Amino acid sequence: MKEVSAGVGIGIRPHRRLWWFVAFLTGVLIVVWISLPRTLEDDALEVLGAAIENDPRTILRFAFDHEKEAVGLTEEVYVAIWNDLIAPRIGQYRPHGQVTSYVQIGGHQGVADQAMLDAGGRRNQIPVVVWATEKGGRLSVMGFLMTAWHFEYFLKHAVPISGENGLRAWLAGLQQDRARLEHLGIRGMVVGRPEEGFRTWDEWQRHWTRLLEDMSARSGANGTFPSEQR
């Protein structure tokens, strides 16, 4: 009996040693992962994940300070914008395929991109670009409203959202949402590069209209029409 007991004991110990080794190795890997420096790609992926999961509070943490100050983006206001104007439009799509993410050459931007499909299987994109700052990756969070305008325009008109159609989408979205935005105290926005300044809604409308007119004029000069462009 003693020999049997000893045999059983000897048979168990290697398994215990293996379990402790696996647990130790897992702990080491976790510590290493936590200690790795956070990258712009990580920031872009977190923002994209928050957009897909309807988490505007997380997104707002990555807003430029000057955007929050200039636009008046408190957490309460941005959550209202997201829930009322952004989520219903993005929610008409579902994620499709793998996320694409990388750091731009030069290391100044982190990019994450998710393909989205509408109910008819038509494809659109949620792009996220964060800029390097002393506080980590930052972006203009009102850009998600512009993406939502693109998504809605695409659903209504089934046209490629680029060039002239992109500008039409922004103009249509602004016209539709302006009253609600102003009711929330939002009189304009900051979009794009970190150095971009605040523009009122009237200024954005004039800017986009002027760009659309210029692009349409060039299209006409080239013998094409907006509806022909793909």
Helix axes 143-157, 164-183, angle to 10 degrees: 120
Question: What's residue 84's pLDDT?
Answer: 98
Intervals of the chain under pLDDT 50 = 1-12, 28-35, 223-230
Question: What's residue 222's pLDDT?
Answer: 55
| pTM of the full structure | 0.80
Please write the tens of the pLDDT for every residue from 37-46. 789 999 999 9
Please write the tens of the pLDDT for every residue from 79-96. 999 999 999 999 999 999
Q: What one-character-per-residue DSSP string does 7-29 give?
A: HHHHHHHHHHHHHHHHHHHHHHH
Instruction: Tell me the sheet residues that pair with 103.
Output: 110
Q: Tokens for 124?
A: 């659109």
Choose among 90, 185, 227, 68: nearest CA to 145.
Answer: 90
Instruction: Tell me the sheet residues that pair with 101.
Output: 112
Cβ pair 190, 65 in contact under 8 A: no
Mapped onto helix, strand or coil, the DSSP state of residue 126 is strand
For residue 52, the tally of other CB atoms under 10 A from its CB is 16
For residue 181, the tally of other CB atoms under 10 A from its CB is 22
Choose among 215, 205, 211, 140: nearest CA to 170.
Answer: 205
Please write the tens of the pLDDT for every residue from 22-67. 555 555 444 433 445 789 999 999 999 999 999 999 999 999 999 9
